[in-house]
Amino acid sequence: MYNDHRDWEVIEKTAFHIKLRSKCGYYQAYVKADGCVDLIRSYNAPFSESETRDWASIHICDLKDFLQRLEQLADRIKCNMPNTEAAEKAREVSFLFAP
């Protein structure tokens, strides 16, 4: 499920950028032609064109590096907090980074 590109639908596309929204509606991505991504997460409700919601965003220009850092973070959590809910969640997402 997590590696299924069909979870993202294109909602806007030009020669310089593409805007995508996850089918669940809680994530949007604005990808520029230079490879940088603004990843936006809605917290209280899915995005809609007519409503503003609580959201947070992160600007990522090296997606591969960012994913590697998340993998390293998950490994640290598993090593340093082994019997916690945080470690269990880290174990659950470790398969995302498998080759």
pLDDT for 95:
56
Same-domain check for residues 50 and 68:
no
Same-domain check for residues 89 and 43:
no
Same-domain check for residues 68 and 52:
no
Closest CA to 24 of 49, 3, 37, 42: 42
Could you give the 3-state DSSP secondary structure of residue 66?
helix
Please determine, for residue 13, whether its predicted confidence score (pLDDT) is greater than 90.
yes
Q: What is the pTM of this model?
A: 0.72
Range of the domain at 77: 64-97
Listed as own residue / partner, the contacts of 53-57 with beta carbons closer than 8 Å and 24 or more positions apart are: none
Could you give the 3-state DSSP secondary structure of residue 59?
strand
Q: Kindly state the DSSP code that residue 94 receives in the 8-state scheme.
A: G
**Residue 81 identity:** M
Structure confidence by residue, pLDDT tens digits, 33-74 = 999 999 999 887 888 756 666 889 999 999 889 988 988 888
Contact 52, 78 (CB under 8 A): no
Same-domain check for residues 9 and 55:
yes
Same-domain check for residues 78 and 32:
no
